[in-house]
A and B are shown apart, each in its own frame.
Chain A
């Protein structure tokens, strides 16, 4: 009995030591998990999740502080990918953080813009071009559709335009072949 106890304790200590040494010796610089989570996030930097950007949200998920269903732009597909990565059950998006919307870009009404630069300061990806007292414009290709520029605008001259489908971005649809249900007839 005592011998068994001692052996177990000894084993525990020994393995603990090995693990401790391994943890020090094979320590990975940076946290690849955060990078991996960040790679899944859509990088809109919209802050709808409650964090100031995608990277902070990724850090929060990795740290167990945030749930995986707080990113509306990532949609259900994003939640599923996060669930796969983290080995947890996927769950529906948390409506508190908003609902997924079609991909849009911000457009500045150039007649109304007063050139206050407030939107430029708000844009997380520097997609707004302009200077004080100069009319601003949005580089559509860089805009993530985060809507962060809408609130600061004192004259409400920014609107979100959904991205329409054109020939270059058109996609083939999933083939939906209706499975016609035929009422049961004489079974054999």
Chain B
């Protein structure tokens, strides 16, 4: 147990990009009006796609389960308002690929009528049962990673969790949804943390915030005092990417989570503050995940934070924020360091969407020409994972994927610090993304080839085996015939068989000869007579 006394540790690297947080923190959280149509992608989390429980035409209530978690790591999807399901098909989702994915389209009936829900008596509930219920709630990590929360709350006997960390660092520029949530709903966050603490059996709870959110720090401290919950709010210096969970854990505990393992191996579990608040809403009110808070900022008339129903289109979100202003040419989901351009404004808001920035060419200008790498290692100095980005770049660019892997390409968190500081304006992270997905694809192809090889070998073996078996059988039969020897015996056997067949034939009475008309009966009789005659002749 490492009871944190406000001590802050350090990690290597990091950068100080301009924050641009003031624009969206001047107003309290506002609510987006109920849209007419909502699109709910099934894949709003990391893991298996959930199983659909409804069909087109069904009327559903707000909070009703539409698709249930399927598989070990999966999350449920719920109706975010009451209405009718009009389609279950592929829709463009907020994803850098711009590809469509299976989604449920919900036509709102305007009543926004909740399914009957009640608080969970979690204190008198079996832990396994509680986890099962949380799996039905659809809660995922709301910081953007969207890992199903119930999986992280499952007890692990090998790695007991001693420290619960709530992540309120929110280090990405522009994003302020956690900041506003902490200012306005700190009590709910702390209650959520208390539930998590109980589930995990942890003994200390640390809440990490960057020092650029004094109001949130004050609100959280007040909530902790009020709740009489043993948590400590730790203020860390503003440095991107302090909000990355492993970096925050290092900052608060001084411990590094193993690169290929889980944070629980060092006794720590980390959740976003919004995740804790959502868990509280589910436990204390029975509300499943139907909405989230999203920062709408950049080139819009009323930048700020908006409480919106999942499935609301980005177009409606921008409209709620007063609409876009002139020169808007792009829409970035997430922050400017790690986000991506949305393929369209008609994509729905998902659980992962913490921020949308309407951008202009002057806000995010096109990068200057890419110059050669001069190995100045500004990137290595900025890397929070202590990688050597210049080497990774070299190997990724030249498609030397094995070498890139050797230099721990897969430890890269794609935070963008290296690209941010590069004097040659090389899109370094983009090279790493490319190399990573190429490596994954090659590994998949390799596995498929190995599988095909095994199947081919097994088939050839089977054919060979069958051939041998046939040959063996044939040989056996010949051998048997030879040992049987006596021709008479054989003949007798054949005759006996024929006799048996004849006897059987005679006893068989066709079933359709009963209850027929007299004419048909006469016909049958004549045919039978002819048959008997013919039989006599042959014998």
What is the CA–CA distance of A130 and B218 in the complex, to the nearest angstrom?
69
What is the CA–CA distance of A54 and B457 in the complex, to the nearest angstrom?
11
What is the CA–CA distance of A144 and B448 in the complex, to the nearest angstrom?
8
Does more than half of chain A's interface fall in helix, strand or loop, or is it mixed?
A: loop
What is the CA–CA distance of A181 and B193 in the complex, to the nearest angstrom?
57
**B367, B370, B433, B448: the one within 8 Å of A172 (CB):** B433
Cβ-defined contact, B458 with A142, below 8 A: no
Query: How does the 8 Å CB contact mask read for B417-451 relative to A, with 1 for contact and 0 for none?
Result: 00000000001001101101110110011001111
Q: Which residues of B contact A175 (CB under 8 A)?
A: 427, 430-431, 434
What is the CA–CA distance of A166 and B441 in the complex, to the nearest angstrom?
13
Q: Which of B92-100, B120-128, B264-272, B350-358 contacts its partner?
A: B92-100
Cβ-defined contact, A174 with B434, below 8 A: yes
How many residues does chain B have at the interface if contact means C-beta atoms less than 8 Å apart?
Answer: 34
**A54, A124, A142, A179: the one within 8 Å of B370 (CB):** A179
What is the CA–CA distance of A174 and B435 in the complex, to the nearest angstrom?
8
- A180 interface residue per 8 A CB criterion: yes
Q: How far is the CB of A83 from chain B (nearest CB, A)?
A: 15
- B101 interface residue per 8 A CB criterion: yes
What is the CA–CA distance of A126 and B459 in the complex, to the nearest angstrom?
7
- B452 interface residue per 8 A CB criterion: yes
Given A166-B101, A177-B370, check contact A43 B450 (CB 8 Å).
Answer: yes
Query: How many pairs, one residue from A and one from B, have CB atoms within 8 Å of each other in the complex?
Result: 77
Cβ-defined contact, A126 with B99, below 8 A: no
What is the CA–CA distance of A144 and B455 in the complex, to the nearest angstrom?
11
Query: For A43, A44, A124, A144, which residue has the most chain B Cβ atoms within 10 angstroms?
Result: A43
Question: Would you list which residues of chain A between 151 and 188 have a CB under 8 Å from chain B?
Answer: 165-167, 169-175, 177, 179-180
Q: Which residues of A contact B452 (CB under 8 A)?
A: 43-45, 125, 142, 144
Cβ-defined contact, B456 with A42, below 8 A: no
Q: Which residues of A contact B451 (CB under 8 A)?
A: 142
Cβ-defined contact, B430 with A125, below 8 A: no
- A147 interface residue per 8 A CB criterion: no
Q: Which residues of A contact B375 (CB under 8 A)?
A: none
Question: Would you list which residues of chain A between 16 and 75 have a CB under 8 Å from chain B?
Answer: 38, 41-45, 53-55
Cβ-defined contact, A38 with B438, below 8 A: no
**A43, A125, A169, A172: the one within 8 Å of B459 (CB):** A125
What is the CA–CA distance of A53 and B448 in the complex, to the nearest angstrom?
16
Q: Which residues of A contact B453 (CB under 8 A)?
A: 38, 43, 54-55
Query: How does the 8 Å CB contact mask read for B149-161 relative to A, with 1 for contact and 0 for none?
Result: 0000000000000
Q: Which residues of B contact A142 (CB under 8 A)?
A: 451-452, 455
What is the CA–CA distance of A38 and B457 in the complex, to the nearest angstrom?
12
Query: How does the 8 Å CB contact mask read for B208-245 relative to A, with 1 for contact and 0 for none?
Result: 00000000000000000000000000000000000000
- B45 interface residue per 8 A CB criterion: no
Q: Which residues of B contact A124 (CB under 8 A)?
A: 456, 459
Q: How far is the CB of A33 from chain B (nearest CB, A)?
A: 16
What is the CA–CA distance of A124 and B462 in the complex, to the nearest angstrom?
12
11 example contacts (A-B, Cβ-Cβ < 8 A) are as follows: A38-B453, A43-B448, A43-B453, A54-B456, A166-B101, A167-B95, A169-B441, A170-B95, A174-B431, A174-B434, A180-B369
Give residues in A with beta carbon < 8 Å to B. 38, 41-45, 53-55, 124-127, 142, 144, 165-167, 169-175, 177, 179-180
